[in-house]
DNA sequence: TAAATTTAGTTACCTAGGTAATTAATTTAG
DNA sequence: CTAAATTAATTACCTAGGTAACTAAATTTA
């Protein structure tokens, strides 16, 4: 009963947060997947698609789709670098200009959703979840390891 | 930075756990969505689709799909009751017979993924996440409330 | 250096879940 | 008792993300 419940709560919370985020981003024509890429690009500067995949822990195909969509909207541009396989992604002037407004909306949402959760609780929750995530990633490989 | 990170960790953990669960259930021809329904039916007995939706916090359309699939596999049957709008869902003899094997595999997986997380930590994590989830659901309505 | 292997990205197809609109049955008002 | 409103489920279409198979470029290896 216990472990099932934990799984279910995490899953439900993830969906609920995504729903809220999409609702918050809707006025700007953005969805959570696109927002996550823009957020990372703003923090880290230009990156290849591979680096974005690794950083966001997403497989390559969904990343391709998200980036193609961001390009269509004019929020991101692709540049070919030294390695002609890789595509370097960077924000456009347009999205750099609009970014502060998007971020403000997201931060306001985060604050609203965390009303009633103390800083300490949030901090500890982050710590527990990170450690659990690491465990899952480590222990998942044991099933497929050969000896 | 903090609240973004929390969101990201929850999302990533949810996906990683689903991936593991799908991998565990694959030999039985089941996916997580189907398993979650079978698990609830086993615990609670026969239920209408609406009750399943409420219990699992999933919208009606995905539930319709999951149930149709379970019916095709012969794991579940639909019965019309008093209220001829509602469809009552119950497990078949086939799935009742196979259930213990499925459950054993899932419990073994849960235990494996929780290696390195103490019972206390798991308990507290559950508590924090539940309280956060309740918060999110409450505070989400404030945005759309009229006064 | 030529051949084999690896790597970055894309395409096609899959599951999971959400919203909006629709249908049919049931309740509630008038 | 009839008309309006509500409710359970479905259909159609959307986003998010995953796997497998493929292409093209770069790197290893023989």
pLDDT tens, position by position, A86-137: 999 999 999 999 999 999 999 999 999 998 899 999 999 999 999 999 999 9
- DSSP lists the bridge partners of residue B87 as B80
Tokens of B114: 């929780």
Please provide the average confidence, as pLDDT, over all residues in chain A. 93
pLDDT digits 0-9 by tens, A34-85: 999 999 999 999 999 999 999 999 999 999 999 999 999 999 999 998 999 9
Provide the CA B114 to C1' D2 distance, Å, integer. 61
Q: Is the pLDDT of residue B147 over 70?
A: no
Length of chain A: 147
This model of the complex carries an ipTM of: 0.92
Contacts 24+ apart (CB under 8 A), B60-65: B62/B33, B63/B37
Domain extents for chain A? 22-141
Q: What's the pLDDT score for residue A143?
A: 52
CB crowding B93-112: b at 16 or more within 10 Å, else e: eebeebbeebeebbeebbeb
pLDDT digits 0-9 by tens, B17-64: 999 999 999 999 999 999 999 999 999 999 999 999 999 999 999 999
pLDDT band with cut points at 50, 70 and 90 for residue A146: very low
Q: For residues A135 and A141, what is the distance between their CA atoms, to the nearest angstrom? A: 10
Tokens of A121: 């609780």
Provide the CA A25 to C1' D7 distance, Å, integer. 31
What Å distances lie between residue B142 and A25, B54, B71, B146, CA to CA?
17, 21, 40, 8
Q: For residues B87 and B63, what is the distance between their CA atoms, to the nearest angstrom? A: 12
- Residues of chain A above pLDDT 70, percent: 95
Q: Taking the C1' atom of D12, which residue's CA lies nearest?
A: B61
Q: For residues A23 and A25, what is the distance between their CA atoms, to the nearest angstrom? A: 6
Distance from CA of A87 to the nearest CA of B (A): 24
- Residues of B within 8 A of A6 (CB-CB) are 122, 125-126, 129
Residue B67 near residue B89, CB atoms below 8 Å: yes
Q: For residues B42 and B104, what is the distance between their CA atoms, to the nearest angstrom? A: 14
Facing A17 at nearest CB: one of B10, B17, B122: B10
Instruction: Between A142 and B108, name the one with better pLDDT.
Output: B108
pLDDT digits 0-9 by tens, B106-124: 999 999 999 889 999 999 9
Length of chain B: 147
- Closest C-alpha among A107, A81, A79 to residue A21: A107
Q: Over range A9-33, report the average pLDDT.
A: 96
- Residues of A within 8 A of B122 (CB-CB) are 2-3, 6
What Å distances lie between residue A10 and A84, A109, A133, B64, B121, CA to CA?
40, 19, 12, 23, 15
Q: For residues A77 and A46, what is the distance between their CA atoms, to the nearest angstrom? A: 10
State whether the beta carbon of B83 lies below 7 angstroms from any atom of strand D.
Answer: yes
- Residue range B25-140 in CATH 3.20.20.120: no
Query: CATH code for A22-141?
Result: 1.10.10.10
């Amino acid at each position: 009963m216990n472990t099932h419940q934990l799984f279910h709560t995490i899953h439900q919370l993830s969906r609920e947060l995504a729903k809220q985020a999409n609702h918050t981003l809707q006025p700007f024509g953005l969805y959570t997947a696109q927002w996550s890429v823009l957020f990372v690009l703003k923090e880290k500067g230009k990156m290849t698609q591979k680096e974005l995949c690794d950083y966001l822990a997403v497989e390559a195909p969904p990343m391709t789709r998200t980036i193609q969509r961001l390009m269509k909207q004019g929020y991101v541009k692709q540049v070919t670098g030294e390695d002609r396989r890789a595509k370097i992604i960077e924000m456009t002037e347009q999205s750099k200009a609009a970014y502060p407004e998007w971020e403000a909306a997201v931060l306001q949402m985060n604050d609203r959703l965390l009303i009633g959760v103390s800083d300490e609780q949030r901090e500890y929750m982050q710590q527990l979840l990170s450690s659990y995530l690491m465990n899952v990633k480590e222990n998942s490989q044991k099933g497929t390891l050969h000896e």
